[in-house]
Structure 1
Amino acid sequence: MLANGSKLGYKKKGSEEEYKDLPGLKEIPEMGIEPEKVQNTCLTDKVHQYENGIGDAGDLTYKFKYDNSKADCPYRVMRAAQNSGEVLSFKETLLDGTETEFDGQVSVKRTGGGVNGVIEFNLSISLQSDLKVTDPV
């Protein structure tokens, strides 16, 4: 499946409002939890024994087309959220209908550019909740 058609929406955490899509999404991150491998070997074991510890979702960085032309563009809205330190709720929707919801704090970084190079911005989200995945019907 191609990433084409994927969307990222946001809303205020705890709000009953609908998610508002952030236009200009160009790239989505890997999504899932990688648990830490924790050694739990007894003195009588002949080989190391392991358990899965808590998980780490890694870096959640979304890449967007840079647009700073109006007050409600994603670049300005997410910068304001960064400056306030507010925790937002997000929903990533793939073309097949798979939805992943999570909460997080954001940081925004504009990329550099050169001759015939586009300027983008990276939206990094520091996870503040579990990932809730809803499969398509």
Structure 2
Amino acid sequence: MAGLLTKDTTLSYKATSGGSFTEIEHLMEVPELGGDPEKVDVTTLASSVKQYIPGIRDLGDLAFKFLYDNETSGSNYRVLRGLQDAGKVVTFKVEYPDGTGHEFDAYVNVKMDSAAVNAAMTFTASMSLQSDITVTNPTP
């Protein structure tokens, strides 16, 4: 089994349903994708141990980190701020180098990260999920 390097992992968005995905440049970090189901207690008075069944999953917000670029209308910061300002749910897709994809619908919120001496300017785009995450496997 060979390992997989994260190099060339991408985040793309689709501006309209039925449209094509457009990559958002300068992605630096991708959050964990997926979630654990909450435990629902089904212990009865006759039970000798606590018993649970899986409940719904809380996937939380997904925080993607980017190298800051605001030079042109197609720059990552302007694109994501534009999606935030539009206030609409957008379809996003994370794709790994082997072709595995994670697609989801979300609202986006952009915030500048803290600045420090001798450090790169970065920002974070947080995605508030509005759908489940659909996983596609690579095609051979």
54-63 vs 87-96, greater mean Cα deviation: 54-63
Structure-1-length-normalised TM-score? 0.94
Q: Secondary structure at the match of 2:65?
A: strand
Note the residue ranges of structure 2 that are not aligned, 5 or more in a row: none
Which whole-Å deviations, capped at 9, do the CAs of 1:26-53 have from their partners, x for residues lacking one? 1111111211111111221111110110
Q: Secondary structure at the match of 1:130?
A: coil
Residue 112 of structure 1 aligns to which amino acid in structure 2? Answer: S
The count of residues paired between Structure 1 and Structure 2 equals 136
- 1:3 matched to 2:1? The reply is no
Residue 132 of structure 2 aligns to which amino acid in structure 1? Answer: D
1:23 paired residue number = 25
Structure-2-length-normalised TM-score? 0.92
Q: Secondary structure at the match of 1:126?
A: strand
1:124, CA displacement in angstroms?
0.4
Contact preservation (8 Å) 1:90, 1:103: yes
1:7, CA displacement in angstroms?
0.3
Residue correspondence of structure 1 range 11-90 to structure 2 within 5 A: 11-12=14-15, 15-90=17-92
1:86, CA displacement in angstroms?
0.9
Which whole-Å deviations, capped at 9, do the CAs of 1:102-124 have from their partners, x for residues lacking one? 00000001112222111101010
2:113 paired residue number = 111
Q: Secondary structure at the match of 1:79?
A: helix
1:121 paired residue number = 123
Residue 60 of structure 1 aligns to which amino acid in structure 2? Answer: L
Note the residue ranges of structure 1 that are not aligned, 5 or more in a row: none
The percentage of aligned residue pairs carrying the same residue is: 44
Which whole-Å deviations, capped at 9, do the CAs of 1:49-85 have from their partners, x for residues lacking one? 1011000113311111101101121211111221221
Would you identify which runs of 4 or more consecutive aligned residues in structure 1 move more than 6 Å?
none
Structural RMSD (CA): 1.1
